[in-house]
Structure 1
Amino acid sequence: MVEAFIRHIRNKSILDPTKTYLLASSGGIDSMCLGNLLTKAEIPFEIAHVNFQLRGEESDQDEEFLRNWAKTLEIPFHVHHADTYAFASERNISTQMAAREIRYAWFEKLRSERKLAGIITAHHEDDQIETIFLNLLRGTGIEGIYGMADRRGWLIRPMLPFSRKEIEEYILENQIEWREDSSNEKTDYKRNKLRHISLPALYEVGDDAKSNLLNSFERLKDTGKAFTALFDNWKSEKIKESDDLQILSSQDLLRHAGASSLLYFWLRPYGFNSDQAQDILETCQFSESGKLFESSTHLLNIDRDQLILAPIPSEFESISISASDIEFTIPEGRYELLKLDGREALDKSRQNAMLDLERLSFPLEIRTWQEGDRFIPLGMKNAKKVSDFLIDLKVPVVKKRGIKVLISEDQIAWVIGYRIADWVKSTAATRKLLYLKKQ
């Protein structure tokens, strides 16, 4: 096993004998096996152990066992005492989840402080299978098949090619001492149920059941990588970006094989889950225009034959502009406030506004538009609801929420970024202009 271990870490280039690492150790059979292999491979390491204080005297004995082992190896030993039950209660999470958060946060803090090359854990082949099945039970889809990587960031798992049986045989052959965690035998947790009940029953189907599972997972992982490449091509070709909007033709989605997966992979980074993606797809299939879907950060609108995605506008508190101000900033950008001669050539860009200064009353106010707001758009004679005005311009629903208006004495002077009001336009009689120019 030593030769296979050295060959693996060299082929994958995951451990460097010129650098020192942090070995996360519980004192159990897996981490003690790994510690022995690292020593024989001449990979320098320090030992890190978390005493979760969940098993009373047994936890303290684990700590003492590892402390003595570190002394024997003459390497640094680091221990962290955690009140795991209190941590779990404070965050309203399971004890298992609390232990995971505690140990990885502390490992990374320690690695950074000690300037170590990585955090080494003893996850092995059987852990990998358990992880994959747990992922599938959570409904993670094809990415759940990927399981754990040999290296991800600072986290290194050099034992993934080795089985629990190989580890047990190595421990016996080399007479390596280790500590048994009694909680590993309980079947209260999903992982332990898989380990002690479900997977052994599955392996009994045939002598080659386990190896066939691993081979299938590898092929599915490769299929997943192929899909990812195809998805990236589809996304770059079909999804158009305009300002902070992403726009996808519903036909470019519906006529493509695997539409459900394409949609989910597009929307997942923006907080949408697989159930929402399925609802969105069905809405497109039934041509239900106008429906709005929301994640914690984004909005998606089915608008005629398009899917339009945009970030949820941040809460905006109205701002006041005095006659002496020379600029203001809103989420859409920074604007200069310039006072010009009335004969200045007009800027017709909708991003900017030129208003008759003498018709305005300071202080001006900028706020988000509200239902019921009305104004007379430039070039029109009758007042129009801002909501109807935006509909006429076919402004996407996802964009409407964040639109702001400039107010003078309770009258809308400008729907910012769209159109000024007719009453404040420049005329032949205008002597001074207020120029709001986006930078």
Structure 2
Amino acid sequence: MATSGGIDSMVLVHLLHQLKYDFAVAHCNFQLRGEESDGDEAFVTSFCKERQIEVFVQKFDTAKFAEDYKLSIQLAARKLRYGWFYELIDKEHFDYILTAHHLDDSLETFLINLSRGTGLDGLTGIPNQNERIIRPLLSFSRLDIEHYAKANAVQWREDSSNASDKYLRNKLRHDVVPVLKELHPNLLASFENTLEHLKQAQSLVEDASKLVYKIVVKEEKHLLKFQLKELLKLPNYKAYLFQWLKNYGFTAWDDIYNLVEAQSGKQIYSEHYCLLKDRDCLILSLKEEATATDIYLIDKNVSQVNIPLKFEFCNVGDISESNSNSIFVDEEKLLFPLVLRRWQEGDFFYPAGMLGKKKVSKYFKDEKLSLIEKSNQWLLCSDNQIIWIVGMRQDERFKATSNTIKILKITIQ
């Protein structure tokens, strides 16, 4: 379990030890309070050794990490802490991470999220379990924990930074929550009831979201397409969009809602994703940028290529009907190595079954490809002449015929 040496985590350690659970202690030394940080480490280590509890300790240069990644100290410590915890449970084959968050922590989190603006997720407090993280003390108040510690002579260390109002959480803890408790002596009990109502409302929202998702959203390859015609039938379509997109890192919600009425081609980005308005739909995809490295050479006589797409090449004795996954070409017309690349403005080809040439951009327009689909499209070329718009249309110039001597079948999987 995660143990800082403070009263909350030491009470949880005491409980687990008294109940004879099989557990180990993990302590982070963030090296932010000099000798005090080292004192916490020594205290936790000594406490565990006296009781034959396995203990793991990790030192972090938190200030440097925060500076390098332009993070607040609190966020840097959180990333370092949980990153190490997950590494530890995988390496040592533990089942869960236990933390000593309690009801007052959940109230403070609620107030922080409320002050910053949030959806239902931010108003449901700290979850009892989140993946492999379990918080057994969430139903107990800070006062309950203090009473237990005193009644059972539990030792702990005071963190001097908890007395500072430098951080928002501490300011709420010292200045806001006491006033609320004074005004409402049963604040925590009322807050628990509110959390339960909010969680029930959240469950209803999630159920409705899943039902409507099947009507509005189409999953195609690596894309999600939100059909605007169906979306706009919903009186609260913004709420559905928020529910579906909140886990993709977007924050500019007004821009996303305005995207519904925007011109085709407008895009909004999160750190890893792109949301594109394309005619009658919104398209969500991974954010990718074509680079000079998106050029791959394919030598003669290879039977299979796996990067970036999986191709198979084989000589065959006759021609069957081509489809979107395979074509038949005249090998004697090819100049090796073949080139696999992204399409470029100015590219043209001779579509199989048609007379004359056509710009690839015009072909894409006729096929109603979105900007994302265009940017992800690959071309297989011979001496910069297009053999195949991969998965879509073959070029007439390289097409095998009944007179072809060496027929090469190219298949994409």
Bin for the TM-score computed over the shorter chain? 0.7 to 0.9
Contact 1:239 1:247 in 2 (8 A): yes
CA distance in 2, matches of 1:398, 1:181: 51
CA distance in 2, matches of 1:38, 1:72: 15
Contact 2:313 2:408 in 1 (8 A): no
Compared with structure 1, are the counterparts of its residues 379 and 50 closer, same or farther at alpha carbon in structure 2 (3 Å cutoff)?
closer
Range with bigger deviation, 288-297 or 181-190: 288-297
Question: What does residue range 9-408 of structure 1 map to in structure 2 within 5 Å?
Answer: 22=1, 24-70=2-48, 72-111=50-89, 115-269=93-247, 271-275=248-252, 277-284=253-260, 286=261, 288-312=263-287, 315=290, 317-340=294-317, 344-408=318-382
Equivalent residue letter for 2:275: L
CA distance in 2, matches of 1:325, 1:112: 40
SS in 2 for 1:336: strand
Q: Could you list the per-position Cα deviations for residues 110-135 of structure 1 after superposition, in whole angstroms to 9, with x for gaps in the alignment?
A: 55555555433221110111122223
CA distance in 2, matches of 1:108, 1:393: 46
- Look up the match of 2:383: 409
Equivalent residue letter for 1:86: K
CA distance in 2, matches of 1:408, 1:117: 54
CA distance in 1, matches of 2:52, 2:203: 44
SS in 1 for 2:150: helix
Equivalent residue letter for 1:423: R
Question: How many Å apart are 1:159 and its aligned residue?
Answer: 1.2
Q: TM-score, normalised by structure 2?
A: 0.86
Question: How many Å apart are 1:97 and its aligned residue?
Answer: 2.8
Question: How many Å apart are 1:407 and its aligned residue?
Answer: 2.3
- Look up the match of 1:11: none
Equivalent residue letter for 2:358: K
Compared with structure 1, are the counterparts of its residues 133 and 317 closer, same or farther at alpha carbon in structure 2 (3 Å cutoff)?
same
CA distance in 2, matches of 1:435, 1:115: 49
Equivalent residue letter for 1:413: I
Compared with structure 1, are the counterparts of its residues 365 and 196 closer, same or farther at alpha carbon in structure 2 (3 Å cutoff)?
same
CA distance in 2, matches of 1:326, 1:65: 64
Question: How many Å apart are 1:377 and its aligned residue?
Answer: 2.0
CA distance in 1, matches of 2:47, 2:336: 77
Question: How many Å apart are 1:374 and its aligned residue?
Answer: 1.6
Contact 2:60 2:80 in 1 (8 A): yes
Contact 1:318 1:366 in 2 (8 A): yes
Compared with structure 1, are the counterparts of its residues 400 and 230 closer, same or farther at alpha carbon in structure 2 (3 Å cutoff)?
same
Question: How many Å apart are 1:428 and its aligned residue?
Answer: 6.0
Compared with structure 1, are the counterparts of its residues 323 and 141 closer, same or farther at alpha carbon in structure 2 (3 Å cutoff)?
same
Question: How many Å apart are 1:196 and its aligned residue?
Answer: 0.9
SS in 2 for 1:308: strand
Question: How many Å apart are 1:397 and its aligned residue?
Answer: 2.2
SS in 2 for 1:168: helix
> Where in structure 1 are there 5+ consecutive unaligned residues?
1-21
CA distance in 1, matches of 2:333, 2:50: 87
Compared with structure 1, are the counterparts of its residues 125 and 433 closer, same or farther at alpha carbon in structure 2 (3 Å cutoff)?
same
CA distance in 1, matches of 2:83, 2:224: 36
Contact 1:264 1:273 in 2 (8 A): no
Question: How many Å apart are 1:109 and its aligned residue?
Answer: 4.6
CA distance in 2, matches of 1:44, 1:406: 59
Are positions 1:438 and 2:412 aligned together?
A: yes
Contact 2:295 2:339 in 1 (8 A): yes
Equivalent residue letter for 1:148: I
Equivalent residue letter for 1:405: L
Question: How many Å apart are 1:170 and its aligned residue?
Answer: 3.0
Question: How many Å apart are 1:176 and its aligned residue?
Answer: 3.7
Contact 1:337 1:434 in 2 (8 A): yes
CA distance in 1, matches of 2:98, 2:382: 64
Compared with structure 1, are the counterparts of its residues 295 and 102 closer, same or farther at alpha carbon in structure 2 (3 Å cutoff)?
closer
Point out the structure with max Rg over C-alpha. 1
Q: Could you list the per-position Cα deviations for residues 306-328 of structure 1 after superposition, in whole angstroms to 9, with x for gaps in the alignment?
A: 22334445746323334433343
CA distance in 2, matches of 1:323, 1:70: 65
Contact 1:374 1:412 in 2 (8 A): yes
Equivalent residue letter for 1:282: N
Q: Could you list the per-position Cα deviations for residues 302-355 of structure 1 after superposition, in whole angstroms to 9, with x for gaps in the alignment?
A: 232222334445746323334433343454432324254xxx344231332223
Compared with structure 1, are the counterparts of its residues 187 and 436 closer, same or farther at alpha carbon in structure 2 (3 Å cutoff)?
same
CA distance in 2, matches of 1:74, 1:431: 79
Corresponding pairs, count: 411
Question: How many Å apart are 1:434 and its aligned residue?
Answer: 2.9
CA distance in 2, matches of 1:423, 1:214: 72
CA distance in 2, matches of 1:233, 1:128: 30
Compared with structure 1, are the counterparts of its residues 177 and 250 closer, same or farther at alpha carbon in structure 2 (3 Å cutoff)?
same
Range with bigger deviation, 310-319 or 234-243: 310-319
Compared with structure 1, are the counterparts of its residues 262 and 331 closer, same or farther at alpha carbon in structure 2 (3 Å cutoff)?
farther
Q: TM-score, normalised by structure 1?
A: 0.82
Q: Could you list the per-position Cα deviations for residues 252-307 of structure 1 after superposition, in whole angstroms to 9, with x for gaps in the alignment?
A: 212213312321332344x35142x54233232x3633433444444433232222
Contact 2:249 2:272 in 1 (8 A): no
CA distance in 1, matches of 2:44, 2:306: 58
Equivalent residue letter for 1:366: L
Contact 2:103 2:188 in 1 (8 A): no
